[in-house]
A and B are shown apart, each in its own frame.
Chain A
Amino acid sequence: MKIRKRKPHKAPNEEARIDLDSARNRLLVTWLSGAFAVLILVVIQSIIGRFEGFAQEFWGWFTPTIFPTLGLMLGVIGSTASEDDEGRTVKKFFFLAAVLLSIGYLILLLLTLLLEPLAGTHDMKYYNLANYWLAPIQALVVAAVGALFNSRKKTR
């Protein structure tokens, strides 16, 4: 007679979840790192004079690419700084998806800036063209990050 060993009881999807607070912090660090790299490049370009004649237009294009998302993250983290987030978790898959989307978006933004000298069009014509590939991905990233940072439901 075979005796089947019972598997130890686990909470549903316990290993597939990650602490929400930790997820938010990691995502914020990811965004801050990427945004800092991009921002440094753009500031140096502006100081040297790369955007001579269209600096206002350029910054008008550049600012919405990172700052609204960063503002959302910082705002949520700041507002929940005094709250007890014990017991709040998020699916690891969703967290990974949000991180990968964010990294992909930030790399794409950096590449967009770095490849401009090799492009066929230049200056604002090029940056406006870049909106075709940046805007859809940014929309996905904002959706993922927004969901993650607006989650207030406790799982336990």
Chain B
Amino acid sequence: MFRQVASVSLGLLFLTSAFAQIFDVQLRGTWFKRADTWCVRIDVPTPPGAQVSTRRMEIEATDARTHESLHFDVEARGTRRRGNVIELRFAVDHPRHLSLVVRGLDIRDESGRALLYTQMLNVAAPPAMADEHPHLGAGARAGLAGPAGGGAPPEPPLTPGQGAPAPEPLNAPLVGSQPEDALDLPAEAPASRKKGKRKIDIPQFPFPPPRASVFQKIPREFFVAKNATPRLRDVEATLTAAFERCGYGDKSFYAVPDGFAMASRLEQMNADGTPGPERWSLEVNPMRKFAVRDYLQALFHARPGHYRVVVFMVTNHPFKQKDAKVNSDEAGAWVREGLNELPSEIGDRDFTDDYACTALIYEFKRVGNGAATFVEPSELSAHDHLDRSGLLSAMQGHGR
């Protein structure tokens, strides 16, 4: 038994040290009190000359013991001599053991190389809660060290792309006891303040996306005409309004790196791209009105069913489509498996100049009883698809 415990402990120690080697920057967090308000300062120790951008930063905070989501305001972001600091103001009466997830930090060294950082970190409460002064002892060190005698707070679960929890070395230097003295903290625009939100498991859209029949970048003007500094939720509003105007009832949202994807329902269309009379049916359209020409056409020629799924992908990551074909069942399931609305943690991001909205059209054709097959490339251009479905004019109309 003792050997097993020792082996596990050694393994954990090894993993911890391995993680410590992987990340270039290890975030550290500490509690301190300012004007009767408990705050957490996150230190981003960076090498000299490194640049830190917090524009797309998002932070989640949970009580490490109860897993309760905690609300906070981003009090300040600024620079110090030894790196950047971010201060969070919590509405709590006493410090708690915190699990923080910090996403969206862009840290680059002098040469412009992006540095990896630990997205998850634990912040231990000071050992003596009554001690309201931020003179933190060894037990207040952040990370895996944990409070003296209190044991380490439980690790938050790892999720893909989030990296590993911060492996704080035991002899890590503590941040200053009077942070406000040393800080140069130009408060950012109030709009950039973020509230702690309940964590939602956002389904991920395949990224890079599977190969589309055709695709087109949507002009940025459609989204910025009304609002000079739009957010992703404004883009989503434009797309949703266009969907509604064009009769697309169902849609669903997925997360993509630093953005979102919005998928439509599988719809049947005519060969020219206009919506078919039996738009939401997977059966081939019957003859609604008898005409000799139409009858003869139907008698002697195959009547394939044309179907499509439109996916709008909004991200600031340029992508090359994956060399993988999607079938009609998979594409049809996109509308069922995503979220019904865009989570605010994505919607609150700024739709900056480096963002682009790309329409991916997945077209399928079914002849006879067989399954619908992926059409590549489509006989229509992406512009034709968007124009004849009405989406293009709807987006233009909403943008004006």
Report the contact-size class of chain A (Cβ under 8 Å from the partner).
20 to 34
Using an 8 Å CB-CB cutoff, how does the interface string of B280-305 with A read, 1 for contact, 0 for none?
00011011001000110011111110
The answer on a CB contact under 8 Å between A124 and B369 is yes
A17-56 vs B: 1/0 string, CB under 8 Å? 0000000000000000000000000001100111111100
Chain B interface mostly: loop
Residue from A52, A114, A118, A121 within 8 A of B368 (CB atoms): A52
Taking a contact as CB atoms under 8 Å apart, the answer to whether B369 and A50 are in contact is no
CB pair A54 B367 closer than 8 Å: yes
Q: Are B295 and A124 in contact (CB under 8 A)?
A: no
The answer to whether A119 and B286 touch across the interface, beta carbons within 8 angstroms, is yes
Known contacts A118-B286, A118-B287, A45 near B300 by CB under 8 Å: yes
Interface size on B, residues (CB 8 A): 18
Q: How far is the CA of A133 from the CA of B298 in the complex (A)?
A: 23
Contact check: which of B290, B303, B370 meets A118 at CB < 8 Å? B290
Q: B295 to A118, Cβ gap below 8 A?
A: yes
Say yes or no for A154: interface residue by CB 8 A criterion. no
Fill in one digit per residue for A62-91: 1 if any B CB lies within 8 Å of its CB, else 0: 000000000000000000000000000000
Q: Is the CB of B287 within 8 A of A117?
A: yes
Q: A49 contacts B301, CB within 8 Å? A: yes
Interface membership of A120, Cβ < 8 A: yes
Task: Tell me, in angstroms, the Cα distance from A44 to B299 when the chains sit together.
Answer: 10
Q: Chain A residues near B300: list those with CB within 8 A.
A: 44-45, 48, 50
Q: Which residues of B contact A114 (CB under 8 A)?
A: 299
B256 CB, min distance to chain A CBs, angstroms: 35
- Return chain B residues, CB-CB under 8 Å to A9: none
Min distance, Cβ A58 to any Cβ of chain B, angstroms? 8
Provided the pairs A122-B284, A122-B286 are in contact, do residues A50 and B367 lie with their beta carbons within 8 angstroms?
no
Q: Is the CB of A122 within 8 A of B303?
A: yes
When the two chains form their complex, are residues A54 and B369 in contact, meaning their CB atoms are under 8 A apart?
yes
A117 in contact with B295 (CB, 8 Å): yes
User: Does A4 sit at the interface, judged by CB under 8 A?
Assistant: no
Q: Which residues of A contact B (CB under 8 A)?
A: 44-45, 48-54, 57, 114, 116-125
5 shortest A-B CB distances, which residue pairs?
A54-B368, A53-B367, A117-B298, A53-B368, A52-B302
Q: B residues bordering A, Cβ < 8 Å?
A: 283-284, 286-287, 290, 294-295, 298-304, 367-370
| CB pairs A–B below 8 angstroms (21 shown) | A45-B299, A45-B300, A48-B301, A50-B299, A50-B301, A50-B302, A52-B302, A53-B367, A53-B368, A54-B368, A57-B368, A117-B294, A117-B299, A119-B286, A120-B286, A121-B283, A123-B368, A123-B369, A124-B368, A124-B369, A125-B369
